[in-house]
Structure 1
Amino acid sequence: MPAQRITATYRIETAYPLDEAVETMAGEQSTGTFVRLPGETDEMRALYGAHVERLTELETVEAPSLPGAGVPKGAGDRPVWRRAEVVLSWSPDNFGVSLPNLVATVAGNLFELRPFSGLRLLDIGLPEAFAEKYPGPRFGVAGTRRLAGVERRPLIGTIVKPSVGMGPEATAELVRVLCDAGIDFIKDDELQADGPHCPFEARARAVMRVIDACAERTGRKVMFAFNITGDLDEMRRRHDLVVELGGTCVMASLNSVGVVGMVELGRFSQLPIHAHRNGWGYLSRAPELGWSYVAWQKIWRLAGADHMHVNGLQNKFCEPDESVIASARACLTPMFEGKPCTVMPVFSSGQSARQAAGTYAALGSADLIFAAGGGIMGHPDGPAAGVGALRDAWEAALAS
């Protein structure tokens, strides 16, 4: 297929003839609607209509995966629900080189179409023009390692716990303990932003005093991802404060700030952006609906994320290990020839020293942040022992 076209790969489920159902998808997301319109000429369809590049029939199922799906006339009492994989393509002339409008095209009204009892976006392919307009992460793996002073092994990290409830000075005291223990990376919990009990500015100043004092003693500055999630002006002010204080990382919740928020943050940020995926479950948990992480992470990489959460092995959530590893590999896979645009995957969610060996064996790379909240904070001998246990586990994994 022409390299300059935008492509999207889907898994679909429908009781309609596959050709008919797929043409409905193509029309809905380009020139057409549910009926052929007088102004929709053959020339217009050829230039701007979505093309069906490939259609591969898969298995059949006895019942629809999702409610509300229609059945064609004449299907009888026992319709056949077919699954298939389909690749659609669009001309970039439809909407230009625009991430927000890309999302509206490849993941818009498709999910509501009545002929489908299942529709999941599996992957996206983009022309080089997107890499030219959206250069992607400024720091990525190499820049993160440089600022954190960590080579060869993963960054050992943690999350401030309890997530909320501590004030600025209590947070700073916990950070002091972790810095003294030799931690590489600490992040705000996504629930901690700028509440009255722990205002952002007071927290940032208290935490950076501790980090700077530790750096003076050790010659190495711990990376702290301050959660700057908010309105655009709020994010800019908070980012600028972290820069002023000598911080080395900011954090934003992707689903909260949206594509435009992340694009703007990526443009003005002078620091690595730690991108949190909270809310990911509502986009992915139904197996036959929503997004695959492989497709979803490409949007945020282009927008400027430097780190992206991928869950973790044997995690506290519902995601299987093979999905976690596929997500991490996607983050480390270049999107464009000669322009890697790769990000550092962040393993978290119920992680401890026991997952280190399995993570390294499955991923085959040490380019990651390994963040353990309870695995460090809940260690029976205290946070310092938790940090030491993780470091030892990863050293053993890398040596095996």
Structure 2
Amino acid sequence: MTAMDLHQTLPAPLRIEADYLLETVIDPRRAAEIMAGEQSSGTFVPVPGETPELKERSAARIERLDLLDDAVDAPSLPSAGTAPSARPRRARVTLSWPLDNLGPSLPNLLATVAGNLFELKPVTGLRLLDIRLPAAFAQAYPGPRFGIAGTRRLAGVEGRPLIGTIVKPSVGFGPAETAALVATLCAGGIDFIKDDELQADGPHCPFDARVRAVMRVVNAHADRTGKKVMVAFNLTGDLDQMRRRHDLLVAEGATCLMASLNSVGLVGMIELGRFSALPIHAHRNGWGYLSRHPLLGWSYVAWQKIWRLAGADHMHVNGLANKFAEDDASVVASARTCLTPLFPDKPCLAMPVFSSGQSVRQAPGTYQALGSTDLIVTAGGGIMAHPGGPAAGVAALREAWEAAVAGIPLDAYARERPNLQSALGAAA
């Protein structure tokens, strides 16, 4: 199954639309009206000039409001002037805005759909669930330049996931030690390696020296074998730093870069997407503070659309049975939405990246849930801590995915594959 098979593409809307989970201590429709007014032509009192004609042209609209049956004993979030004993109600609300209010601008889109409404006094819970954008956004932004097909071409991997890992220890290695580890992984048949997001440009492991040392190893391996391992170097920094680091990567023959989305910000990512000649591996560190409370912040379904349109080629989605707080259903929904087209004529597909405590044991469940091999799986300890060493860890993870795609139980597939057998024992 290909990414395009996963979901039916719907026509792009003529207006900007956003879905919210709303909790409020007042009538939900009145709360939705306040949200619509606050985020378009209105304010807390009537003002001269806000004529019926202006409202018709510029005001946000409530397109849908569905009351939910959730029993709520107390407000989920504190709100000034709201009695703790108040019994809120919840609703799913869809608001829309005319494109002419802001034009096809991602920074101003955030101010519109995710601005002051999170602070409104009547709102005791609000989560942005999804957004749908007019086709003008597809014309204004490049989206992923490489995406799935370009990533596979550069990595030389077709028909299966990219098997990857993270440089561990996360920090502490210098350039020579990092390059030595990369050499071991290249020899072991790895497809993809990434910097940990904590490794940037510190004096113990400067970016330039690390890139040059690692790419000597990667390029030498490619010269011997014809396979160039994809390494995502973390160039996170200010714009001038990212440009300079990007140019060094291109000069050294690198095939990927990594940026921390919440660190570089939306404008930083837009600019990186415009000038990058390499696939962008987008790391979501910090995602928890935007999402962990179920009645505050963002759904990943909505959030990742912004970054894909800005130019992200790979998007982290966590992983099944991960080491963090996210449940498997949320992880699967996140991965599937990365493979869902954004626009009928411009899919903007991004490769989902599974990580966070991954091992051979998650392969069957991940494949069964996603129904696609268009993904990168990055196992740190799951590869590096294999009893037989990193090369055996790479082989075991690849064998686990062979079994998953073939529908063969891991234990049965491992009987004649000692690397997988050892990995199953270590992961038990």
TM-score band w.r.t. shorter chain: over 0.9
Q: CA deviation at 1:33?
A: 1.2
Distance 1:70 1:61 in 2: 18
Write the distance in 1 (CA, Å) between the matches of 2:119 and 2:171.
37
1:63 equivalent in alignment to 2:74: yes
Single out whichever of 212-221 and 309-318 deviates more from structure 2: 212-221
Give the CA deviation at 1:44. 1.2
Does residue 62 of structure 2 align to residue 52 of structure 1? yes
CA gap 1:77/1:127 in 2 versus in 1, 3 angstroms: closer
Q: Which amino acid aligns with 2:382?
A: G
- Find the residue that maps to 1:294 and give its secondary structure: helix
TM-score by length of 2: 0.91
Distance 1:114 1:396 in 2: 53
Query: Which residue of structure 2 aligns with residue 359 of structure 1?
Result: 366
* 1:367 partner SS: coil
Partner of 1:32: 42
Corresponding residue number in structure 2 for 1:183: 190
Is 2:222 aligned against 1:222?
A: no
Out of 149, 174, 179, the position equivalent to 1:172 is 179
Paired AA for residue 141 in structure 2: Y
Aligned partner of 2:342 in structure 1 is 335
Selected match of 2:130 from 115, 123, 136: 123
| Residues 308 and 344 in structure 1, CA contact (< 8 A), matched pair in contact too | yes
CA positional deviation for 1:370: 0.4
Shift in Å, 1:80: 2.9
The one of 301, 306, 313 equivalent to 1:299 is 306
Aligned residue identity for 2:29: D
Moved more, 376-385 or 172-181: 376-385
| 1:17 equivalent in structure 2 | 27
Match of 1:144 among 151, 165, 179: 151
Identify the range of structure 1 (30-39 vs 122-131) with the bigger mean alpha-carbon deviation.
30-39
Question: Counterparts of 2:80 and 2:148 in 1: how far apart (Å)?
Answer: 44
Residues 1:376 and 2:408 are matched in the alignment: no
> Structure 2: how far apart are the matches of 1:70 and 1:84?
21
d(CA) in 1 for partners of 2:336, 2:41: 36
Gapped runs of 5+ residues in structure 1?
A: none
Deviates further, 386-395 or 58-67: 58-67
Counterparts of 1:316 and 1:249, CA distance in 2: 26
**2:405 maps to what in 1?**
398
1:162-219 deviations in whole A, cap 9, x for unaligned? 0111000000000000000000000000000100000000000000000011111111
Aligned residue type for 1:39: G
Secondary structure, aligned partner of 2:95 = strand
What CA deviation, in whole Å up to 9, does each residue of 1:8-65 have, x standing for no partner? 0000001101121111100111111112222221111111111010010002411111
> Within the alignment, does 1:134 sit opposite 2:141 as a pair?
yes
Judged with a 3 Å threshold, the aligned counterparts in structure 2 of structure 1 residues 182 and 24 are, in CA distance, closer, same or farther, namely: same
SS at match of 1:309: strand
Q: Which amino acid aligns with 1:122?
A: L
Whether the 8 Å contact between 1:70 and 1:116 is mirrored in structure 2 is no
| 8 Å CA contact 1:15, 1:70 repeated in 2 | no
**Cα pair 2:66 2:91 within 8 Å, conserved:** yes
Structure 1 residues 247 and 229: alpha-carbon distance in aligned structure 2, compared to 1, 3 A threshold: same
Q: Determine helix, strand or coil for the equivalent of 1:146.
A: helix
Residues of 2 paired with 1:78 and 1:160: CA distance? 50
Shift of 1:78: 5.0
Matched to 1:136, the amino acid is G
Identity %: 73
Q: What are the equivalent positions in structure 2 for 1:313-352 lying under 5 Å apart?
A: 313-352=320-359
Q: Show structure 2 runs of 5+ residues with no match.
A: 1-10, 408-428
Query: How many angstroms does 1:356 deviate by?
Result: 0.6
- Contact between 1:69 and 1:117, CA under 8 Å: does it hold in 2? no
RMSD (Å), alpha carbons: 1.3
SS in 2 for 1:166: coil
**Deviation of the 1:280 alpha carbon:** 0.2
Q: In structure 1, what is the Cα distance between the partners aligned to 2:331 and 2:12?
A: 32
Residue range with higher mean Cα deviation, 33-42 or 169-178: 33-42
Deviation of 1:274 after TM superposition, in Å, equals 0.2
- Secondary structure of 2:208's counterpart equals helix
Q: 1:97 aligns with which of 85, 91, 104?
A: 104
Runs of 4+ in 1 over 6 A off after TM superposition: none
Amino acid across the alignment from 1:390: L
